[in-house]
Structure 1
Amino acid sequence: MNTKNILITVILLIVFSSVTNEAQQWVKMNPTFDPPGDYNLGRGVMLDKNNGWVVEELNRKAFQTTDGGYTWNLKLQVDTTSVGEIFFLNSDNGWITFAQQDSTILFRTEDGGMIWDRFTVPFMYRVFFVNDTLGFGGGRLNFYKTTDGGINWSKIDLGETKYYFFFGDSYVFDENSFIILSSIWNGDSYQPRYQFAMLKTTNGGNSWFQVQTNLDGIIDFVPRNIKFFNSFNGVLTRGWVTGEAYYTNNGGLNWFKSQQFPRQNLGEITDMFFLNEQLGWVIGQSGIFLMTSDKGITWEQINITENRLYSISFIKDKSLGFIFGSHNTILKYDRTVGIKEEYTSQNSNFLLLQNYPNPFNSTTTFTFELPLPGYTELKIYDALGREVKTLLKGNVEQGKHTIQFNASDISSGIYFGVLSYDEKRVSSKIIIIK
């Protein structure tokens, strides 16, 4: 390996190490609640950097924040024993449900929570919506569909003799194709046992079929979360008593158990979130907090709290993340903190500024400055140090320059821009999210 390649490798190793550390830097917040109390924060969602909602598990309350999660005010409450869930399609359209013994109280907003309409609907643990009118929900052996935003629900005929018990997750590929994780109940009221089931529709929910996978038939397999990066690659978790993670590379037909997934004393998994195709987290009871940086193949434990962690929510541009848990626990992940200009100590006029925007979807712009004319290269590398694209190669005049990087043909992930000039090199971290 020549000197140039050694220098680039060293730069990438240093920067990649800082990225790994940054990925673990969730910090505890010190929120206040009105009225004050010791709350078990369940499903939460942040709509933007200031506004968000969270459902309190035991006391049937829904709180709102307008200052980024520092203060929370009670906005909704029901009087009966219930389990709360929340789903926001966008910053305007949202639903909060409180499942009771025989029915569910559903609140719907169309203006970001300024006004909530209340409805009593069939018993459902969880709902999800494909658009502002089409939604699905399920619980206790029944699935339901709404076409009017949650006001009226009709029972879905799955065309099977099996009893599907809805307690999983959903993933929407597009408005016609989506997946629901479920379980099959064997009907034994004394010792009920559950088996894995994945249901799919390709016609907008008009008809469903069970996807045949290698996990079918496994006893006490209750799937909890699912995420697909594309039509082939995805990750799912097994919840309740046994916590496990699986990944697929063929659209969910075959699932492979993740390596190095901590099994000792690992109980219920409650939520999973991926920042991009590589980096993701799993949380659960007793402070379960795991991170992966390789699409869910391997995982490592993050020790930050012993409290139960229930849900993860990132705002739309994924620059801010929040985790909600018991005893008023809120963790925050701020990707806008710590982004600095990088430069060599030998010459402060030789700068590669952080690309903007970052993270980005398709295009971003690099800005750099040279003290004198000279031969300059600007290249993009992946996290393994492999060259992905050359943006600049040739003689460049003195002064400040901008170069646009079109990443429409590059997959999501963490990359690095490396600027070379006068035998000096500086790097800038790039995050592509699609």
Structure 2
Amino acid sequence: MSSQKSIKLERCDETTGEDRISELHPDLKHLILKDLTVKEIARTSVLSTQWRHIFRNHPYLIFDHTAYYYSRNNQYMNNRTVDEFLKTIKRILSTHTGLLDQFVLYVVHKQKSTNTLSLVDQVMSIVPTTITKLRVNIQFNERYAVTITQFPELTYLEIYCCSLKYHPTTTFLKLTRLHLYALSVPHNLFQPLSRIAPNLERLSFWCCDWPDGDTVTIDAPRLKEFVMNNCRLRHCSFSETTSLSSVTLHLKHQLNNNSDGFCHVLPKLTSLEILNMTSTIGVLAPCLKPIEFSECKPWALKKLNLRGLRLTQASTFMPELILLLKRAKNLEELWIEDYSTESDELHHDNFDKFIFKDVTLDRLGRLSLVLLGESHHGLQLLRSIRPCLPVLMNLNIGYSTTTLDSTEQERVVVDCVSEFCSASPNVKLTYFRI
């Protein structure tokens, strides 16, 4: 009976020609299309008559690198094909009838013609002023100036390799995320942030430059996450950042070794990531030395990620690392990446620094040691830090592919880890490849 009923139902669907896809709620249709490329979204117009114009009011127009290179089947993009790509975007924007929520534009070309530059201006000028998420990556043989004054509703802004223009009286009251990549930061961006973007929660600078001698004070009352990666800046300090909990740093040592702007920020952080310990320690050193005999309460730090280490250069940063671990008594997770190679010269007195005197990490439950080089200096660190970890539950050992190529290297690693685990029988061991 059930099989006969199902057959009857199928026949009924066939005879009525019911279009179940078109019955979906418009918001659900847009959600389905959100992760597709622009080309794939345009193709959905053939599904049914009701889907024919779905592209015209789709709230997400993503013309990223995938759309850019696919537009000419990965052929070399000359001025003519770049202009055709921009004309297509202009036509789509001109016929768009819905509420546009997100717009992404990617144009990378060595040369730019006057016509190409004009087309980029035209595209940006017809982007709806109600846009909430904007990502722009426009790279010519000279920087393109992106004007954002006309987008007061932005909640998310990401700018690559461009210069940023806006009127100093402009405010972005809804902006919560600002990410700037490879650009010269304008002077008036920090005059002040608390007025320009009072609700900013995440702020990122990647490969950015400030004018020589510039000093930056970040006053974002609701800022939670701050990233400064591979940036040149003389001095950075924080004001009214009471909500700041996560910081990622990779700063140029030669320009920041006298900076003490992080002193009052470090104790309240719950997450700290240092992308290049050798250079960035110059920034942290002034903040760490005064705490050696400090009587203040332990820091709030729960996750510490140390990347870009060369343990053969331990004498450069190990004293500061020990001071940092002394204060981070609430630490629950520690990541260490060793970039040392067999060719690096190892001084035996460096390993004396690995004696973590007066360091006890009573709450550390996860330790991840990543060996990206071909040496085993990280294993010496593992042996030295073992007595400091009474409650460790998870030990993760990561290898680069080249490290696993050597059977002898793998044997040394396994022996060291086995020694560690025999002393800590409750530890769960995990190996993973990088």
TM-score band (shorter)? under 0.3
Structure showing greater radius of gyration is 2
Greater RCO, 1 or 2 (C-alpha within 8 Å, sep 6+): 1
Q: Which has the higher helix share?
A: 2
Q: Which has the higher strand share?
A: 1
